């Protein structure tokens, strides 16, 4: 087994791995990683077949994210996941990144614990299934958020998330501007959201709101803009209102995720504002 840097030509293989795991990412998501981190995405190659992947991204030098940790089911339990993670850690340590974070599935969590990751908080994947004939008529998708307002949202996101991830959010906005939303008043930002058109579902996140009324308005707006029968979002278990709002719209709990970190978590952001994260792969 050879570990090597992932390139654009490996995206098809990455898509195969994520399909085997039933994940929702698209080629655009792999490209976001590769654009942000040319030498920080890795694949495990066995005789020319890509059987594992792991990707890293550094957010403003404050911390890094590890995502897309995938091993072909036929190759699991042979130490490939561990070697991929060790390669990511080595890469980030040598770049002097002080903290590494990730969102672990129950399958990934034991592996990360062995490598020194500890729990920050719990997340939950929620899923909505709607009959296509019942979908609201889509609103005009021509209205894009004006650049100065988008800048304002990016600044607010840096505070909520704990680091600057505006390059990723700008690419998400560019691809699906109809999902980008923001609510503010004279006192500042009340809430905002972005969304992605995944391979099987529209994905709401980040979904940020100061209070339940704002959270509800943002979720309703997202559901009006989405034309998919399936919608998913990864919400903070401790958020006092997000789950009630999701349930009221017909979402159901799907599975747990655990936010973990390794090193010193000096920039935790403001989790109390977060209804849902951008996604487990990006934070």
Q: Which residues contact 72 (CB under 8 A, 6 or more apart)?
A: 17, 20, 51, 52
Q: Give how far Cα 260 sits from Cα of 82, 95, 153, Å.
A: 16, 20, 26
Examine residue 3 and tell whether it contacts ligand COA (CB under 6 A).
no
- Cβ proximity to ligand COA, 191 vs 280, nearer residue: 280
Q: Which stretch binds ligand COA (CB under 6 A): 57-65, 71-79, 167-175, 185-193?
A: 71-79
DSSP structure class, residue 240:
S
Examine residue 70 and tell whether it contacts ligand COA (CB under 6 A).
yes
Question: Do residues 198 and 125 make contact, with C-beta atoms less than 8 angstroms apart?
Answer: no
* Interface residue with ligand COA, options 15, 28, 111, 160 (CB under 6 A): 111
Q: How far apart are CA 233 and CA 29, in angstroms?
A: 16
* Interface residue with ligand COA, options 31, 35, 38, 114 (CB under 6 A): 114
DSSP 20-87: HTT----HHHHHHHHHH-TTSEEEEEETTEEEEEEEEEEETTTEEEEEEEEE-GGGTTSSHHHHHHHH
* Interface residue with ligand COA, options 34, 36, 71, 156 (CB under 6 A): 71
Both structure tokens of 181? 């939303």
Q: Which residue bears the tokens 């100061």?
A: 210
- Cβ proximity to ligand COA, 83 vs 170, nearer residue: 83
Total number of residues that touch ligand COA (CB under 6 A): 18
Tell me how far, at minimum, the Cβ of 55 lies from ligand COA, in Å: 11
Examine residue 77 and tell whether it contacts ligand COA (CB under 6 A).
yes
Q: How far apart are CA 135 and CA 106, in angstroms?
A: 33
Tell me how far, at minimum, the Cβ of 144 lies from ligand COA, in Å: 33
Q: At what angle do helices 27-36 and 11-20 cross, to 10 degrees?
A: 120
Examine residue 5 and tell whether it contacts ligand COA (CB under 6 A).
no
Q: Which residue bears the tokens 């809430």?
A: 191
Examine residue 245 and tell whether it contacts ligand COA (CB under 6 A).
no
Examine residue 80 and tell whether it contacts ligand COA (CB under 6 A).
yes
How far the first Cα of the chain sits from its last, in Å, is: 29
Closest CA to 67 of 77, 82, 53: 53
* Interface residue with ligand COA, options 45, 60, 78, 229 (CB under 6 A): 78
Question: Do residues 17 and 53 make contact, with C-beta atoms less than 8 angstroms apart?
Answer: yes
- Cβ proximity to ligand COA, 88 vs 193, nearer residue: 88
- Cβ proximity to ligand COA, 78 vs 210, nearer residue: 78
Q: Considering only residues 10-69, where is the footprint of ligand COA by CB under 6 A?
A: 21, 69
Q: Which stretch binds ligand COA (CB under 6 A): 99-107, 143-151, 234-242, 261-269?
A: 99-107
Q: Which stretch binds ligand COA (CB under 6 A): 75-83, 166-174, 220-228, 267-275?
A: 75-83
* Interface residue with ligand COA, options 14, 108, 206, 279 (CB under 6 A): 108
Using CB under 6 A, list all residues that contact ligand COA.
21, 69-71, 76-82, 104-105, 107-108, 110-111, 114
């Amino acid at each position: 087994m050879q570990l090597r840097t992932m390139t654009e030509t490996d995206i098809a293989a990455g898509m195969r791995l994520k399909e085997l795991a039933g994940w929702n990412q698209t080629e655009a998501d792999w490209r976001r990683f590769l654009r942000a981190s040319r030498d920080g995405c890795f694949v495990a190659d066995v005789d020319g077949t890509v059987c594992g992947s792991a990707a890293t991204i550094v957010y403003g030098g404050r911390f890094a994210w590890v995502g897309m940790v995938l091993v072909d089911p036929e190759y699991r339990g042979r130490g490939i996941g561990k070697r991929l993670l060790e390669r990511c850690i080595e890469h980030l340590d040598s770049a002097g990144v002080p903290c590494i974070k990730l969102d672990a599935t129950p399958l990934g969590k034991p592996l990360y614990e062995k490598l020194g990751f500890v729990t920050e908080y719990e997340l939950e994947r929620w899923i909505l299934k709607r009959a296509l004939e019942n979908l609201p008529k889509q609103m005009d998708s021509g209205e894009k958020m004006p650049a100065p307002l988008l800048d304002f949202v990016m600044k607010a996101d840096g505070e909520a998330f704990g680091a600057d991830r505006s390059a990723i959010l700008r690419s998400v906005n560019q691809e699906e501007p109809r999902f980008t939303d923001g609510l503010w008043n004279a006192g500042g930002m009340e809430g905002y959201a972005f969304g992605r058109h995944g391979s099987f579902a529209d994905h709401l996140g980040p979904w940020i709101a100061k209070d339940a009324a704002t959270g509800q308005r943002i979720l309703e707006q997202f559901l009006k803009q989405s034309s998919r029968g399936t919608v998913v979002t990864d919400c903070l278990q401790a958020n006092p209102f997000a789950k009630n709002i999701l349930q009221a719209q017909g979402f159901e709990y799907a599975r747990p995720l655990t936010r973990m970190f390794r090193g010193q978590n000096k920039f935790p952001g403001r989790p109390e504002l977060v209804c849902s994260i951008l996604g487990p792969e990006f934070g």
